[in-house]
Structure 1
Amino acid sequence: MSKISVAIAGAGISGLCLAHSLLRAGFDVQIYERDPAPHARRQGYRITLDEHGIAGLQRCLPPHLFQLFLATTSPTAEIGYMRITNQNLGEVFRFAFQGDPSGTDLRTPRQADRQTLRTIMLEGLRDRVHYGKAAVRAETTSDGATLHFSDGSRVHASLVVGADGVNSALRQSFLPDCEPEDTDRWAIYGRTLLFQNGRSIVPRPLKTSGVFAIGPSSRGFFFTTMNFRESPQTAFPRFGMDQIPPITDDYVMWALLLPKEQFPEPQGKPRSEMLQQLALKAAQDFHPVLRRFVEQSDLDYTMAVTIKAAKKPAAWPVSRLAFMGDAVHVMPPTGSHGGNTALRDAALLAEKLKTAAIEGTPLEKAVASYQEEMSKYAFREVEASKTMLKRFTIKNPLMNWVMLRAIPRIRSWSNKSLTAE
């Protein structure tokens, strides 16, 4: 297997996950990242990992790194909820997720901080991750593929993997008919420390909940907490990590979803100050608890994202180039399946490549088999996420009144207030 070289474009969670699996099997793996340094920019905050994402990590990571990942996720002892509310946090309906006091049932969803997870996954790969290498195109041949970079350099490998995100230059050149669709929605993401002046800023009934509040003018407000089971500052040295954890404190991750027409067309990259002012304005019609998250947020962690949805290729060219994650199946965040699907991709592609190496079959056959299986589950999740995003935009006046006024009022008669301390 050491004769099979793999060049991965993108050092996000799927690219690093794949690299670990292939390295453990003896492949020669190199990762190329456009950013100039590991933490040059924010790459998201808290993510919800389900059984598919957790299984992908378990199959790919060295055991000690997988255990460190589990140690730094959120506690699973209590029942968790996903709640849909109106703008005043009046509950419309909720989903419950059974808790697991032991923390050993890997089918139980849990939260993870994306930066912490990515730092864990960089362990053991630092000599193989090359920064400041933005991939611009790939040329495939019968014996491999050549990856070209913006600085004029290039590398040749047995296989190139495009894990370079939603704006993938490799996808744009290789699958030009598959540019993601614009959903006409923007999101402003932010982070706020969970404990302010010694007290939690999240009301007690919502401490294990993810909440999506449907607001006026097609706006939406989502938030959830990131509680570490064990502080990364304690867990990292306990597991022999050389790196410094990027995040040490529990926090609230929040996001405001806005129609495109309510988001001013940015001139260049929007500044954090401008984004926070826009978020404050957009949140003014929401419950004071939600406004407080924005008012007390960490300015440096505020960022904007265009919400896009992938288009499934009409045909998959079979070659020495494969794609994973947002590079091929970006989806709206509604449903929390983007990261899980990317990790599932990494585990599946790794297994296909390892089987091909053992059996001596062509890598193209492994890529074709991977593409066939991946496209079935990935684009099913894309469609489900798009459908859920549409459901959060209620335009029918009668339905709007029933969902956001009548039902919360009826439920309030029998349920405890979600904002009670």
Structure 2
Amino acid sequence: MSRENEKIAIVGAGLGGAVAGALLQHAGFDVNVYEQAPSFSRLGAGIHMGPNVLKIFERIGVDRQVIDISSTPTHWFSRDGMTGDYRSRIPLEGYGATYCTVHRGDLQAIQCDALQPGTLHFGKKLARVDDNGTDVLIEFEDGTSVRADIVIGADGINSRVRETLLGEEKPNYSGWVGHRALISSDKLKKFDLTFEDCVKWWGPDRHMMVYYTTARRDEYYYVTGVPHPAWEFDSAFVDSSREEMAAAFDGYHPIIQALIDSTDTVTKWPLFNRNPLPLWSKGRLVLLGDACHPMKPHMAQGAAMAIEDAAMLTRCLQETGISDFNTAFKLYEANRRDRATRVQTVSNANTFLLNQEDPSWVYGYDIYAEPLKSENAA
């Protein structure tokens, strides 16, 4: 398939943007990905990749690589944060692919390596996007510029592409923060306790999600959700402390206390979201992932939704070709809006898997299995 004259620019090389680039390249499109960061580093954060995502990874040939570096829990346990009683035991097998928990940086490296050499460009912070009706001029803060037939905004909750479509508007602070910490599993050996592969500890108004991030099970990661009245800092995150964690989870289960005692460094991040957007595309510009439907991370499906977006957008562009991008973008929104909105709503409510339930609507979903809805369904 030759598409030499049809150029796609993706702004943002996060998990959604990188996978979009790889999928579109595999489909034969001419794609370049522009990332504002000077490089990627192995930041201390874990991530869940459910079977719904592994089915997409298979399409670009990286599913086995991801499985090989990941922890692959068989269950998601929900436990009472005080007593340790089990609220639910949710199987993570039987959905057509593997459930993985992995270090975000390790996963990011695999996704970037899946892109064609020379098509990922770092240090490209977006300054301006100009859709002139014929093509799109993209200008970067380093003084360079490129042109493309269409532009995909995969540049996160503070998306500059979204601003071009809808104007400048700050995201909504949720009233919650998340603490993040990686713990060497060696530190946990001194405790006569069982540290499960994937467990969420629930309190009356806060929680802690804990899981391994490597196949070697040598890193144990936790991320919290804790009420915090206002985010009073200018930066994306701030340092927290073992003392702050101990105060936030005072009286909680001994396993939580052991995790806090084993913490060397911990950071605190504000949790933001947005109301559903009135549009996902305009002209030659289209959004995916957090640029389009950010959500609190309480289902561990935020990145998964971005990756599903990437797969559906690729399907739609294959269906229509870039020359009919208007139809492709309408198809994309018609086939993604309901699911993304449902996940956004459930995730923000923070009730997912608290009690015994069937998550097959999330994990059993195969984005390639259903026929495309008409674009008029949007």
Corresponding residue to 2:38 among 36, 39, 58: 36
For 1:154, the aligned partner's letter is: S
Once the two structures are superposed, residues 156-184 of structure 1 have per-residue CA deviations (whole angstroms, 9 ceiling, x without a partner) of 10111111111112212312387543211
Which residue in 2 is equivalent to 1:322?
286
| CA separation of 1:372 and 1:179: change in aligned 2, threshold 3 A | farther
| CA separation of 1:284 and 1:267: change in aligned 2, threshold 3 A | farther
For 1:123, the aligned partner's letter is: D
Question: Does structure 2 retain, via aligned residues, the 8 Å contact 1:185–1:307?
Answer: yes
Which residue in 1 is equivalent to 2:223?
255
Q: TM-score, normalised by structure 1?
A: 0.75
Task: State how far apart, in whole Å, the 1-side matches of 2:245 and 2:85 are.
Answer: 23
**How do 1:346-385 and structure 2 match up within 5 A?**
346-357=310-321, 361-385=323-347
For 1:377, the aligned partner's letter is: R
Shift of 1:124: 4.8
Q: TM-score, normalised by structure 2?
A: 0.83
Task: State how far apart, in whole Å, the 2-side matches of 1:35 and 1:368 are.
Answer: 31
**How do 1:46-195 and structure 2 match up within 5 A?**
46-59=46-59, 61=60, 63=61, 65-76=62-73, 79-86=74-81, 88-91=82-85, 93-97=87-91, 99=93, 106-125=96-115, 127-176=118-167, 180-195=171-186
Higher share of residues assigned helix:
1
| CA separation of 1:268 and 1:45: change in aligned 2, threshold 3 A | closer
Task: State how far apart, in whole Å, the 2-side matches of 1:30 and 1:111 are.
Answer: 28
Which residue in 2 is equivalent to 1:20?
22
Structure 1 unpaired stretches of 5+:
232-248, 393-402, 404-421
Question: Does structure 2 retain, via aligned residues, the 8 Å contact 1:49–1:110?
Answer: yes
Shift of 1:305: 2.1
Task: State how far apart, in whole Å, the 1-side matches of 2:257 and 2:8 are.
Answer: 47
| CA separation of 1:380 and 1:271: change in aligned 2, threshold 3 A | closer
Question: Does structure 1 retain, via aligned residues, the 8 Å contact 2:289–2:302?
Answer: yes
| CA separation of 1:123 and 1:165: change in aligned 2, threshold 3 A | same
Task: State how far apart, in whole Å, the 2-side matches of 1:26 and 1:108 are.
Answer: 28
For 2:343, the aligned partner's letter is: E
The secondary structure found in structure 2 opposite 1:297 is: coil
Shift of 1:271: 4.5
Which residue in 2 is equivalent to 1:415?
none
Shift of 1:185: 0.9
Question: Does structure 2 retain, via aligned residues, the 8 Å contact 1:195–1:201?
Answer: no
For 1:151, the aligned partner's letter is: D
For 1:373, the aligned partner's letter is: N
For 1:93, the aligned partner's letter is: R
Which residue in 1 is equivalent to 2:248?
282
Task: State how far apart, in whole Å, the 2-side matches of 1:171 and 1:202 are.
Answer: 50
For 1:120, the aligned partner's letter is: I
Question: Does structure 2 retain, via aligned residues, the 8 Å contact 1:89–1:287?
Answer: yes
Shift of 1:188: 1.3
| CA separation of 1:310 and 1:57: change in aligned 2, threshold 3 A | farther
Task: State how far apart, in whole Å, the 2-side matches of 1:162 and 1:75 are.
Answer: 31
Once the two structures are superposed, residues 380-420 of structure 1 have per-residue CA deviations (whole angstroms, 9 ceiling, x without a partner) of 1111112226999xxxxxxxxxx9xxxxxxxxxxxxxxxxx
The secondary structure found in structure 2 opposite 1:195 is: helix
Work out which of the two has the higher radius of gyration on C-alpha atoms and give 1 or 2: 1
Once the two structures are superposed, residues 288-347 of structure 1 have per-residue CA deviations (whole angstroms, 9 ceiling, x without a partner) of 321332332242xx3322212232123445321111111111111111111111111111
The secondary structure found in structure 2 opposite 1:166 is: coil
Structure 2 unpaired stretches of 5+:
356-378
Question: Does structure 2 retain, via aligned residues, the 8 Å contact 1:82–1:94?
Answer: yes
Question: Does structure 1 retain, via aligned residues, the 8 Å contact 2:236–2:269?
Answer: no
Once the two structures are superposed, residues 253-277 of structure 1 have per-residue CA deviations (whole angstroms, 9 ceiling, x without a partner) of 112322222x7723646553x4554
Task: State how far apart, in whole Å, the 2-side matches of 1:119 and 1:2 are.
Answer: 27
Task: State how far apart, in whole Å, the 2-side matches of 1:80 and 1:92 are.
Answer: 12
Task: State how far apart, in whole Å, the 1-side matches of 2:214 and 2:18 are.
Answer: 24
Question: Does structure 2 retain, via aligned residues, the 8 Å contact 1:178–1:312?
Answer: no
Once the two structures are superposed, residues 102-124 of structure 1 have per-residue CA deviations (whole angstroms, 9 ceiling, x without a partner) of xxx63443322221111111115
Shift of 1:143: 2.5
Question: Does structure 1 retain, via aligned residues, the 8 Å contact 2:288–2:310?
Answer: yes
Q: Supply the RMSD in Å over aligned alpha carbons.
A: 2.8
Task: State how far apart, in whole Å, the 2-side matches of 1:209 and 1:38 are.
Answer: 26
Task: State how far apart, in whole Å, the 1-side matches of 2:190 and 2:104 are.
Answer: 22
Once the two structures are superposed, residues 79-99 of structure 1 have per-residue CA deviations (whole angstroms, 9 ceiling, x without a partner) of 41321313x243251132054
How many positions carry a matched residue from both structures? 352
Question: Does structure 1 retain, via aligned residues, the 8 Å contact 2:313–2:332?
Answer: yes
Matched, 1:212 2:201: yes
Question: Does structure 1 retain, via aligned residues, the 8 Å contact 2:8–2:150?
Answer: yes
